[in-house]
Structure 1
Amino acid sequence: MFMIAVLVDITVEFLLRYTQSGKSTTYAGLMAESFGSLGSLAVQICVMVTNLGCLIIYLIIIGDVLCGNESGGTLHLGHSMVELSCLCYTLCCALCYAPIDSLRHSSAISILLAVVFIAISSAMAIYAFWKGKTQNMRLLPDFANQVSIFDLFTTVPVLVTGFGFHVNIHPIRSELSRPSDMSYAVRISLAISIAIYFSIGFFGYMLFGESIMSDILVNFDQNSDSAIGQLVNNTVRLSYAMHLALVFPVINFSLRTNIDELLFAKKPVLAKDKSRFTILTCLLLALTYTIAIVIPNIWYLFQFLGSTTVVCLSFIFPGAIVLRDVHGISRRKDKVMAILVIIMAILTSMIAIAANLWTVG
C-alpha cells in the first residue's frame, strides 16, 4: 500500500509539472498535447469504463447490505426492508438530475462516514479483544492450501483502484487559490487514505478473521448478540448504503456526459435534449443493474479496473507523457522513473490477470 502511494505521488507530480508547462487544464487535454486526439480518446474511454465499474461496485455493495450474501456456506443476512430499498432506488433516480456541485456534500459525507466506520469497528475490535472473542489472525499467507505466491499480486489492482484519483487532479487544482498547493493536498490525501485503509483492514481482520468478506460491510450482520450491538452493526451498514446511493448519481452524471460527448458530439447540449437525456440515463441504469446482478462480488470488478483502465490512468499514461516530453522538461531520472513505473504497472497487471484466470479456470 505504501509503495503504491509513493508511485501515485510520483505520477501526480508528472501530471502537475506538464500541466504547468502546457496550456491544457484537463487530463484529456494533457494527453492530447502529447499524443493528439488518440491520447485524449484513450483517457475518455478509460474514464468511462472506470466510472461504469464504480457504479457497478456501488450497486453490488448496496445489494449485499440490503439483500445479504453467502460465502463458504455462511449466510450473511441483509435487510429486507422494502421501504429502504425503494428509498435508495428513488434517490438514485431523482438525484440523476441534481447539479454536479452537490459532489462537495457527498465528499464530506464520505469522509465523515469513513471516520465513523473506523471509530465503530476499532471500538468493537478492542472490546472483542478485551473479552477474548477476537478471531485468530495469520501474519503470513497460507501457501499450503492451493495458494500461490502469484496470488499476492491480485491484491495490487485492488489497492491501485483505491488510490486511482488522477482524473480529479485537474478539477481540484483549478479550484485552489494557489495551484502550487496541489502537491501538498495530494500528499495529505494519500496519508489520510493510507491511515483509513490500514485501520479498516486491521480492525476488520481482527474482528472477523478468516470469515472476512471482500465486502466487509456484509460481515456486520451477526457479530453481536445484544440489541445495542446489533443496532451499531445496522447503523454502519445502512448508513454506508445510503451514502453510496447518494454518490451514485454524481458518478453517473460524469459517465453519461462523457458517453454523450463521444457519441453525439454534433448534437445539442444533453441538458437541452430531454428525450436523449432520459433514454441514455435509463440505458446506463439498466446496464449497470444487469452487470451488478451477474457479477458475484466486488472483488472481480476491483481486479478488472485495477488491472486495466485505472492502471492506465494512474501509471501508464503519466509515464508516457514524461517519455514523450513535448515540452522538453523531463530530466534523465524522470524518464528512468517513468520507464520503471510503466514496466511495474504492466508486469503486476499481467500477473494479476493471469493469476485470476488460473483461479477461475
Structure 2
Amino acid sequence: MSHTEQEPKGATMTSSVVNTINTIIGSGMLVLPYAFKTDSIFLGTIILFFAAAANSIGLIIQGMTTKFVHRGTATFFTICTLTYPRLSTLFDIAIFMQCFGVAISYIVLTGDLMPLVFSISDWSETQNRLFYILISTVITVPLCFLHKLDSLRYTSVVSLIAIAYLAILIYAQFGYSLSQNFQNIPPENIGPVFYFTPEGIKPVFKTLGVIVLAYTCPNQYSIVTELQNPTIHRINRIVYLSMGVITAIFFSVSFFGYMTFGNALGGNIILMYGDNIYISLGRLLLVLMVLLSFPLMLYPARSSFNNIYFAFKDYLWHKWHQFNSRETAPLLQNNTASGNSDNTENCEVFAEDKLGEKAVPFPEFRFRWITVVLLVLSYLIAISLDSFELILSVVGATGGVLISYVLPGCYGYKLLCTEDPHLLKMLDKHGGEDKFSKLFKSTILRKCCIGLIIWGLFSMTICLYSSLFE
C-alpha cells in the first residue's frame, strides 16, 4: 500500500459515540416528561421507542449510503446529487433552516435562563438578557471555527456531564419527593398520574413532534466521515450504542419527571423545581450544554450553506457558459439536436461521478466568511426575538423530519437492491469489503425505507398542524 493509500487517521469509536449522543440530546430532553403528561405513560413509551427505532434505521441507512461515494465526501448534498440530483439544493435549504434555527434557539435559551441563575440587580430584564447573550460569544465563537467534529470531543464530554447531572437531578428530586410523600411540592404543582389514558388526540399530535424531533441527528455524515476505519459494522455499532444510551436517558427522564408532578407538569421540567443551589447549578449546566451544542448545530448548517452557495454558483456559471456558447457557435445547434438527450444524460452522469470522487469545494477563506456571517446573523436574530418557539417548531417539523426519516428513506429506496449499473459501479469502486454486505441486498431494509418515508411525511404533517393551529 502506497503512502497516499494508507488508512487516514480519524475519530475513535468512543469520540464518535460521544458526539452522536451530544448532537441528539439537547434541551429538548427536559420537555419529554410533558409528552408523558399528554400521551400517558403507556402510549408515550410506545411512541418514544418507536421513534428511537425509526431514527436508528435512518442513521444506519445514512451510514450505508457513504459506501457509494469516495470516503470523506458523503453529505446530504452529495448523496442527494447521486440519487435525486434535481432536489439536492432544495433539501439542503431545509437542512440549513433546521440546524440554523436550532442553533439560534440555543442562544435564546441562554438569554432566558442565565438571569434565573444570576441576575444583575441594577439592570432590567432586557439588559440582563442582552448581556448574557453577548457574553456567550466567549464560548461559542472559538468553537465554531474548528474544522472537524472530532475536535469538539472534549466539549462534548463536558456536555454529557451536564446531561448526566440534569438526569440525576430529576431522579433525585423524584426519590426525595417520594420519601416525603410529595409533601415538599406545592399542591398546585401536583396532579394525577395517568398510565393508559391520554389527554386527547390533538394533545398527543402536538407532543408527537417533541418526541420525533428529540432524536434528530444532522451530523451523522460528518461523524462517519471522520471515523477511523468506517466499516458498516463499526458505523452500526455507533448507532446501537448511541441510541441505546439516548433512549434510556429519554425514557427515565420522562418517566421520573412525570411521576414527580403528574398532570400539573409544565413544558420545561427544570422550571418546575424551586430555587436552591442544586437547581441553580442544573440551570447553569443546561446553559453550558446548549452553548457547547451550538457549534454542533452550526457545523451542518455551514456545510449546507456552502452546498447551496456552490450549487447556485455552478448553476450561474453553466448559464453564462451556455449563453456564450450560443453567441459564439450558433451553427452547432442543428448538429446536436438529435443527440440532445444523450448529451444531457452524459452530463448528469459526469456530475454524479465528479461528486462521487470529490467533495464540494470548501476553501479556507469561504469557511471563514460563512462562519462569520452565520455567527453574526444568529446573534442578531437571537437578540431581536423574545421567543423562537413557533419558527423553531416549523423548521424543526420540516428540516428535522427530512433529516431523520424522509431523506434516509428516499436514499435507501434508491440505493438498496439497486440494479442501476452506475450505482453498482459506484458501490464496487468505493464500498471496499462492505460492498459484499447482505444489507445492500436486503428487501426487508428496503421496505423499511418506504416505511420511513411514510412515517416522515405523516410526522411532518402532524408537527406542522400542531405548531400552526394550536
Displacement of 1:302 in angstroms is: 5.8
Query: What residue number does 2:284 align with?
Result: 238
Query: What residue number does 2:249 align with?
Result: 196
Where in structure 2 are there 5+ consecutive unaligned residues? 1-47, 121-127, 315-360, 420-439
Preserved contact between residue 161 and residue 306 of structure 1 (Cα < 8 Å)? yes
For the pair 1:62 / 2:114, whether they are aligned, the reply is no
Displacement of 1:159 in angstroms is: 1.8
**Equivalent residues in 2 for 1:1-361 (5 A)?**
1-23=48-70, 25-36=74-85, 38-67=86-115, 79-81=118-120, 87-98=135-146, 100=148, 101-133=150-182, 135-140=190-195, 148-165=200-217, 167-172=219-224, 174-179=226-231, 180-220=233-273, 222=274, 230-263=276-309, 269=363, 271=365, 278-291=372-385, 293-295=386-388, 297=389, 300=390, 303-325=393-415, 327-328=418-419, 329=440, 331-359=442-470
Displacement of 1:235 in angstroms is: 0.6
State the secondary structure of the residue aligned to 1:171.
helix
Mapped to 2, the partners of 1:17 and 1:45 lie a distance apart of 23
Mapped to 2, the partners of 1:175 and 1:26 lie a distance apart of 14
Displacement of 1:139 in angstroms is: 1.7
- TM-score, normalized by length of structure 2? 0.62
Mapped to 2, the partners of 1:56 and 1:275 lie a distance apart of 18
Amino acid at match of 1:349: M
State the secondary structure of the residue aligned to 1:350.
helix
State the secondary structure of the residue aligned to 1:214.
coil
When residues 177 and 261 of structure 1 are mapped into structure 2, their CA distance, relative to the original with a 3 A threshold, is closer
Mapped to 1, the partners of 2:155 and 2:403 lie a distance apart of 23
Displacement of 1:59 in angstroms is: 2.3
Mapped to 1, the partners of 2:54 and 2:362 lie a distance apart of 41
Larger Rg computed on CA atoms: 2
When residues 47 and 85 of structure 1 are mapped into structure 2, their CA distance, relative to the original with a 3 A threshold, is closer
RMSD: 3.2
Preserved contact between residue 104 and residue 379 of structure 2 (Cα < 8 Å)? no
Mapped to 1, the partners of 2:362 and 2:220 lie a distance apart of 26
Task: Compare 318-327 and 234-243 and name the one that shifted more.
Answer: 318-327
When residues 163 and 253 of structure 1 are mapped into structure 2, their CA distance, relative to the original with a 3 A threshold, is closer
When residues 90 and 141 of structure 1 are mapped into structure 2, their CA distance, relative to the original with a 3 A threshold, is farther
State the secondary structure of the residue aligned to 2:219.
helix
Preserved contact between residue 260 and residue 270 of structure 1 (Cα < 8 Å)? no
Amino acid at match of 1:188: L
Preserved contact between residue 270 and residue 276 of structure 1 (Cα < 8 Å)? no
Task: Compare 256-265 and 23-32 and name the one that shifted more.
Answer: 256-265
State the secondary structure of the residue aligned to 2:136.
helix
Amino acid at match of 1:118: A
Mapped to 2, the partners of 1:215 and 1:353 lie a distance apart of 21
Preserved contact between residue 143 and residue 152 of structure 2 (Cα < 8 Å)? no
Displacement of 1:21 in angstroms is: 4.4
Query: What residue number does 1:70 align with?
Result: none
Amino acid at match of 1:125: F
Displacement of 1:97 in angstroms is: 4.0
Amino acid at match of 1:248: F
- TM-score, normalized by length of structure 1? 0.79
When residues 247 and 313 of structure 1 are mapped into structure 2, their CA distance, relative to the original with a 3 A threshold, is closer
Preserved contact between residue 218 and residue 403 of structure 2 (Cα < 8 Å)? yes
When residues 330 and 314 of structure 1 are mapped into structure 2, their CA distance, relative to the original with a 3 A threshold, is farther
Where in structure 1 are there 5+ consecutive unaligned residues? 68-76, 224-229
Amino acid at match of 2:158: I
Mapped to 2, the partners of 1:276 and 1:305 lie a distance apart of 21
Displacement of 1:191 in angstroms is: 0.8
Q: How many residues end up aligned between the 2 structures?
A: 335
Amino acid at match of 1:324: K
Aligned-pair identity in percent equals 19
Displacement of 1:194 in angstroms is: 0.8
